[in-house]
Amino acid sequence: MNYLGLAAANLKRRKWRTLFSVIGITAIVMAFFSLVTFAQGYQNALRKEFTSLGIQILAVPKGCPYEMTIYVLHGGHIEKSLTMEQFYKVREHPSVSLASPILLQKVVHKDTHMETVLYGVYPDFAKLKPLWNMEQLSFHHEKANECWIGSNIAKTLSLKVGDPLPPYYFEQECTIVGVLPKTRTADDQFIFAPLQTVQHILGYPQQMKAIGIQLKEGEKVGAVMEELSQIPDVQIVSYRQAEYTLNDLVQSTRNLIQIAIWFIVLMGMIGIVNTLLMTIEDRRKEMGMMKALGATSLQLSYVVGMEVFFIILSGCGLGMIMSWIFNKGIENLLRLLVSNAPSGSLSYYSFSTIVSTFLFCIFLGFLASIIPLRTVRKISPLEAIQDEKS
């Protein structure tokens, strides 16, 4: 018996039913594949973003240190501030190799409404940004009306070194003295200027919002954090703590997405089982005649199994392709569900994710085939003969 040809012929005879079955599997695979790629992609994007801020410890005002860490990465309004006195105490700690003040504020383009973040920093802030491959941000003096801009801003506004930064984001005009290399992080759309210049622009004299800290080689992070925490009104957080906490916070959203996807999978399985049972019911007489002519239940099960395999394989391939095609829209939806999601791609496509999705499809097809195959075994040749006589 040519199982492959018979299965293909049966699927062609019921084109619309086959098509809707494939569409159902495609929707399930799109949801599953998007979740798998999102789980890995989010971890990678978050890790890259923390790596782009090459600090060991971050000092912030008393409050929620993890929320403030997100603001330092993405920009935002931090109510409280640190003083220069607190900064000097941090910098003078014997275990601190580098302490760099950070003042930041989200600003909006008056015409295009494009958001960016204005950073006030010391030149040595570049040492906290390993992806920049720079030792210093060069400014002519501490109060210079100069800035470095991210590659995305330079491209979007067609700006280059020597051009004045148009006063769309803030009234004071700054001359662009450098364009940062493309990092594929949030830095690509930020503006960096001397600390005192930004203090004047934003009206925060002698203040900052955070201090990025690197320790001397061999120093124990935990011990130094405990000592720095003794500085009044200063809260210390390591980037590892922030990363773990943010992963925990996003886990609740991930769980909700998983519940929704498993619900879709359940509905899809019910649809596949119902389609197969209807198909078998339509062919009950035909299968009964085949059994009367000598076909075994196992042989008929092979034919039905091949049909399921065709449907699952087609839906699996289409689902992964559609997920890749609509990747941008799916990412935008995930960013709405996950607040303060890291910049960069939230999807990570790899050979392992493709294999895991394919194995999931095979498992789904196996579960969906159990009831229909048992139904095939119960078909009796006598039913076909009796129907033929009647």
94 and 214 share one domain: yes
Domain that holds residue 13: 3-47+250-389
How does pLDDT run across 257-310, given as a tens digit for each residue?
A: 677 777 777 877 787 777 777 777 777 777 777 777 777 778 887 777 788 888
36 and 106 share one domain: no
Task: Provide the 8-state DSSP code for 132.
Answer: G
Which is more confident, 9 or 153? 153
Do 78 and 211 touch, CB atoms closer than 8 A? no
19 and 92 share one domain: no
103 and 216 share one domain: yes
Per-residue pLDDT, 53: 65
CA dist., res. 385 & res. 73, Å (int): 75
Is the model's pLDDT at 387 over the cut of 60?
A: no
Per-residue pLDDT, 228: 92
How many residues comprise the chain? 390
Band (252; pLDDT cuts 50, 70, 90): low
Proportion of the chain above pLDDT 90, given as a percent: 16
Is the model's pLDDT at 345 over the cut of 70?
A: no
38 and 112 share one domain: no
349 and 377 share one domain: yes
CA dist., res. 61 & res. 207, Å (int): 11
Sheet hosting strand 191-194, strand order edge to edge:
164-165, 174-179, 146-149, 191-194, 115-121, 96-108, 210-215, 57-61, 234-238
Top-confidence range, 7-11, 54-58, 317-321: 317-321
Tell which of 168, 197, 232 closes a domain.
232
Mean of per-residue pLDDT scores for the chain: 80
Q: With respect to residue 52, please indicate whether it lies within any of the assigned structural domains.
A: no
274 and 372 share one domain: yes
28 and 91 share one domain: no
Count of domains for the chain: 2
How does pLDDT run across 20-70, given as a tens digit for each residue?
A: 778 888 888 887 787 777 767 766 776 666 666 667 888 888 876 666 666
Question: What string of DSSP letters covers 15-39?
Answer: HHHHHHHHHHHHHHHHHHHHHHHHH
How does pLDDT run across 133-169, given as a tens digit for each residue?
A: 888 898 988 889 999 999 988 988 888 999 988 776 7
How does pLDDT run across 173-187, given as a tens digit for each residue?
A: 889 999 999 887 778
Cβ of 129: how many Cβ atoms within 10 Å?
23
Element (H, E) at 226: helix 221-228
DSSP β-ladder status, 115-121 and 191-194: parallel
97 and 216 share one domain: yes
98 and 36 share one domain: no
Tell which of 232, 262, 291 closes a domain.
232
Per-residue pLDDT, 85: 93
Which is more confident, 15 or 149? 149
Q: With respect to residue 314, please indicate whether it lies within any of the assigned structural domains.
A: yes
Closest CA to 242 of 73, 363, 115, 389: 73
Per-residue pLDDT, 31: 79
Q: With respect to residue 32, please indicate whether it lies within any of the assigned structural domains.
A: yes
101 and 221 share one domain: yes
Q: With respect to residue 74, please indicate whether it lies within any of the assigned structural domains.
A: no
Q: With respect to residue 103, please indicate whether it lies within any of the assigned structural domains.
A: yes
CA dist., res. 227 & res. 235, Å (int): 11
Q: With respect to residue 143, please indicate whether it lies within any of the assigned structural domains.
A: yes
Per-residue pLDDT, 271: 74
Tell which of 197, 232, 267 closes a domain.
232
Cα 63 from chain centroid (whole Å) = 27
Per-residue pLDDT, 199: 92
Is the model's pLDDT at 356 over the cut of 90?
A: no
Do 344 and 184 touch, CB atoms closer than 8 A? yes
CA dist., res. 384 & res. 122, Å (int): 87
Q: With respect to residue 115, please indicate whether it lies within any of the assigned structural domains.
A: yes
Per-residue pLDDT, 112: 67
The sign of the CA dihedral 181, 127, 70, 79 is negative
Q: Where are the beta strands (DSSP E) in the chain?
A: 57-61, 82-83, 96-108, 115-121, 146-149, 164-165, 174-179, 191-194, 207-208, 210-215, 234-238
291 and 183 share one domain: no
- Written as one letter, the residue type at 260 is A
Top-confidence range, 86-90, 333-337, 345-349: 86-90
Band (243; pLDDT cuts 50, 70, 90): low
pTM for the full predicted model:
0.64
Is the model's pLDDT at 389 over the cut of 70?
A: no
Residue partners of 379: CB distance under 8 A and separation at least 6: 280, 284, 287, 288, 291, 297, 300
Per-residue pLDDT, 122: 93
Q: With respect to residue 237, please indicate whether it lies within any of the assigned structural domains.
A: no
